Chains A and B, each alone.
Chain A
Amino acid sequence: MNFPFLSVITFTPAVASLLILMMPGERKTEVRATALAAGIFATLLAVYVYLAYDQSLGGYQFVEKFAWVPQFGISYHVGVDGMSAPLVLLTAVVMLTGVLISWGIDDRPREFFAFLFILATGVFGVFVALDLFGLFFFYEIAVFPMYLLIAIWGWQVTREYAAMKLTLYLFIGSVFSLVGALAMYYVSGLGTFDMLALEKANFSVEFQRFWFPIVFFGFAVLGGIFPFHSWSPDGHVAAPTAVSMFHAGVLMKLGAFASLRVGIMLLPEGARFHMPWIVLLTVVNVVYGSFIAMVQKDMKYMIGFSSVSHMGLVAMAFTTLNRVGYVGAGMQMFSHGVMTALFFACVGMIYDRAHTRLMPELGGMSKKMPFVAVAFIIGGFTSMGMPGLSGFAAELPIFLGVWNARAADVVREYPAWLQWVAAMAQTPWYFPTIAVVSAIAIVVTAAYVLRAVQRVFFGEISHDHDHHVGDVTVLDKVALAILCAFMIGIGVYPAVMATLVDTGVTPILKLLGVA
């Protein structure tokens, strides 16, 4: 048998977590070194998987499968395709950079890294799972440690509230999805949780239309879809830096990815039916999110709402049901992941030294931490979709996809109270209008990013900060450099990711019947 790359990647953090827990709590350096080693190891393997994936073959590769609970048709079945390979890489990169910038955590680092790594295992697991049961299993593993990480190491002011809110939102969402998954399991009559088998189950049209919104929104809560997004800025703000990075960088993709894998791919007829109205919610995400970000004074809240806006673009891309849009969705998930991880890392570094995140109180930080300033600016330009950076390479296909999208004829069968949407959606200008309206967010994003850059990094530094704020460590700089390298690399030569994602889109389109 071939080397089980995916299992090794998935369980590397879990094993590291166990090792760390076995160490005595006061051996902080050893704990950190173990965490770093695990991060590097997982990243190297993820890079290998990314590069070794054979694009000419497509489909699921690095597949491992064996029976787990055969009585219920549950198997341990993992594999990656063009959609998930970049996300596995993203998770590994955020894990590695998260360890690098958390080096200075002095309050119980042993438990911190242990919980963080359990979470990482859950995230890897969701991205590679090809079995519905396995997917839920890893999904819950990813969500639960978040509660402890925020409640124990979070920002004192809101951590209990935020941790509780986040956990309840996500659990309730996943319960809905789980019910949908069980419905699929029983109705299919195949007696299996294997998603590749369920893809061919031929669920009835009525079944798909009924269950699609339940499954899709259940997961999309974690992707921050409006109106279920309000846990996300609170959670981001309260979480410690590395957890915010994981949270916004990777966890939100988990929601988007699962709603694609389980919602759209298993219930494609439901997607065709419901997407024409869901796109309206995603417009709210994109535009409203950016305006709310603009009025924030707290940097972390600003980035939290900008994530809502940017993840709205992923959901919007899902509604296009065409190739370009889905390639954009895949790239935006990666691009937003590294970008927002970078943002939270920068804010964490500033907060650790200046002890405030309020933009009016900050200023002149580029003198004290020039490297952070440059990194934040690169991230900022990525976020406003500046050409030559990954944000543009991801958002451009999304917008093209939206221009090109057409609502399926089935919208005619909407219930009477939704007929107004159906009437609009059938016009050829429906999606183009949405593209134009969403484009407003680009300018708003430019405004709030520039404002933050000016307030925080330029202008006058306060007397107090001038004396106490110092530069960041070498490890911090390495972490930021890694994240920036991805944004620039993909932006300058988008094909390094676009062609791979493209191979992952083909089977999705086949399921949707539009290929």
Chain B
Amino acid sequence: MDFIIDHLLSLILFIPVAGAVIITLLPKDQVGAIRWVALITTLFPLGLSLVLWTRFDSHAAGFQFVEQAPWFTVINSSYHLGVDGISVVMILLTAILMPLAVLFSFSITEKVKAYMALFLLLGTGMFGVFMTLDLILFFLFWEAGLIPMYFLINIWGSANRQYASFKFFIYTMAGSLGLLLAIQTIGITLGSFDMLNAIEKWPTFAGAIYGIPATTIRAAAFWAFTIAFAIKVPVWPFHTWLPDAHTEAPTAGSMILAGVLLKLGAYGFLRLVLPLYPAEAKFYAGALAFLALMAIVAGALASFGQTDFKRLVAYSSVGHMGFVVLGIAVAAVARDSEIFKGHAIMAANGAVLQMFNHGLSSAGMFLLVGVIYDRTHTRNLNDFGGLFPLAPVYGGILIFTSMASLGLPGLNGFVSEFMVVRGAWPVYTVITAIGMLGLLMTGAYILKGIQKVLHGPVNQRWAGHRLEISRREVIAIAPLLALMLVIGVWPAWLVSVINAAITRMMG
């Protein structure tokens, strides 16, 4: 037991790899066994992250469950893991979504072995980003998640998958390049890649780096970090890879892509950009808030304009993640202000909670799109219509999830978006006000989606088809629905943990 507690993070991190290895050793035609091994493997990190959640002390300062071991000593990079309140929440989200996505993937029939193995490796990549306290390891896991996702889209995606996967990969890779160069600069300057050391020394590092004043280098490195994370979030105008990737990816891939992968970018802002570049983040926060506003508005408008159900949901992610970035921008600009500090903390809390909530609702929405696509083989909204009587359970779940996504009070989306807007209002009044219009548009496109799919005259094309959601799929989405309701009614259990971490981070 002590061993498990002492190595909790490593176990969460590497059990998926072990599962992937077991799967590659199984014979190809044992599809059932492969699926169950994958599912059971993902349950271990879930159980362990619940242990992590209960044992985590949100009042204690600093990082907990720290593990450190020599790794690449020649360049002063070590295997250094640890979690704080923000990462614990993200680990929990990842651990919850993984088994659900695997369960939904039971409908995959082609190359099941490779699919499941890649999926588990993707899990390790994501867990790693949320845990690591070393810049090189951070980059390692950041990139490592890219490879499985590339293949999930490229092999199991729909018609235009080659284009979409290539675009996704090159886009992210180009962003990562600046990140890597900036990380190298930090490592060279400070002589170590340790994140805690960098957070302590980098913001105030004075003197020349390569003969250029440190402030200039820091500003350049700030933009390198920001663009890399902005591509991943994605912030307008770096979002164009997302609709393609989401639309072409297999359903479970979209669930993880929207549910967790986008959060990696936002997490990067919170974990690295704010602590490493407080002055630069403050200086450029206005630009970031503007981009966030554009994401909210453009995402909502674009979403409204879609006829492809999956694209509609994909663009809605751009808008919802815009609120996360808005919250981060507010935190950046107002964190050391006497008057606005409380608002900044509120907005940052909202941003983290929104990351969690959007993870739940977007995964749910993509799952539901996948369900209907599996049965009708179309995602075109104009091909649907009046499906409610044909699939009453599905219709109910779709409406419930849509309402959470739309931000209906009493469900989770409302709480976090309210917190962001509430914190942002006094700081960026105009931007927030325009952003509220984006919220209005959210209502419009969500209702458009529901109306086109469920209501109106019954499209006779589907009469007699079995469209109802299966029991396995209900099991896959039920935990998400429950969490949406619980967080909507009683968010305190999450917010208290997030708030403690945010308050400490803001000093």
Contacts and interface: CB of A to CB of B under 8 A. Distances in A.
B184 interface: yes
B71 A381 contact: no
Contact of B181 (A431, A435, A451, A458): A435
Contact of A387 (B139, B150, B177, B208): B139
B212 A429 contact: yes
Interface in A441-493: 442-443, 446-447, 450-451, 454, 458-459, 493
Contact of A458 (B162, B173, B180, B212): B162
A428 B217 CA distance: 13
A65 B138 CA distance: 48
A405 to B, nearest CB: 10
A404 interface: yes
Contact of B154 (A393, A442, A458): A458
Contacts of A399: 181, 184
Contacts of A451: 166
Contacts of B211: 427-429
Interface in B122-174: 136, 139-144, 146-147, 150, 154-155, 162, 166, 169-170, 173-174
A498 interface: yes
A499 interface: yes
B185 interface: yes
Interface string A485-508: 000000001110011011000000
B166 A454 contact: yes
- Per DSSP, chain A at the interface is helix
Contacts of A450: 150, 166, 169-170
Nearest to B141: A387
A327 B174 CA distance: 26
Contact of B74 (A386, A397, A403, A454): A397
B162 A454 contact: yes
A435 B72 CA distance: 21
29 contacts: A381-B147, A393-B72, A396-B75, A396-B136, A396-B184, A397-B74, A399-B184, A400-B75, A400-B184, A400-B188, A403-B184, A403-B185, A403-B188, A428-B210, A432-B185, A442-B180, A443-B170, A443-B173, A446-B170, A446-B173, A450-B150, A454-B166, A458-B154, A458-B162, A494-B71, A495-B70, A495-B72, A498-B73, A502-B74
A403 B189 CA distance: 10
B45 interface: no
A124 interface: no
A429 B220 CA distance: 14
**Which residue of A381, A386, A446 has the most chain B CB atoms within 10 A of its CB atom?**
A446
A23 B375 CA distance: 67
A431 B187 CA distance: 16
Interface of B: 70-75, 136, 139-144, 146-147, 150, 154-155, 162, 166, 169-170, 173-174, 177, 180-181, 184-185, 187-188, 208, 210-212
6 pairs of A and B residues whose beta carbons are closest in the complex: A428-B211, A387-B140, A498-B74, A428-B210, A432-B210, A494-B72
B92 to A, nearest CB: 25
B188 A386 contact: no
Contacts of B71: 493-495
Contacts of B162: 454, 458-459
Interface string A311-354: 00000000000011001000000000000000000000000000
Contact of B144 (A388, A403, A432, A439): A388
Contacts of A458: 154-155, 162
Contact of B180 (A323, A393, A439, A454): A439
A449 B162 CA distance: 14
Interface in A403-436: 403-404, 427-429, 431-432, 435-436
Contacts of A393: 72
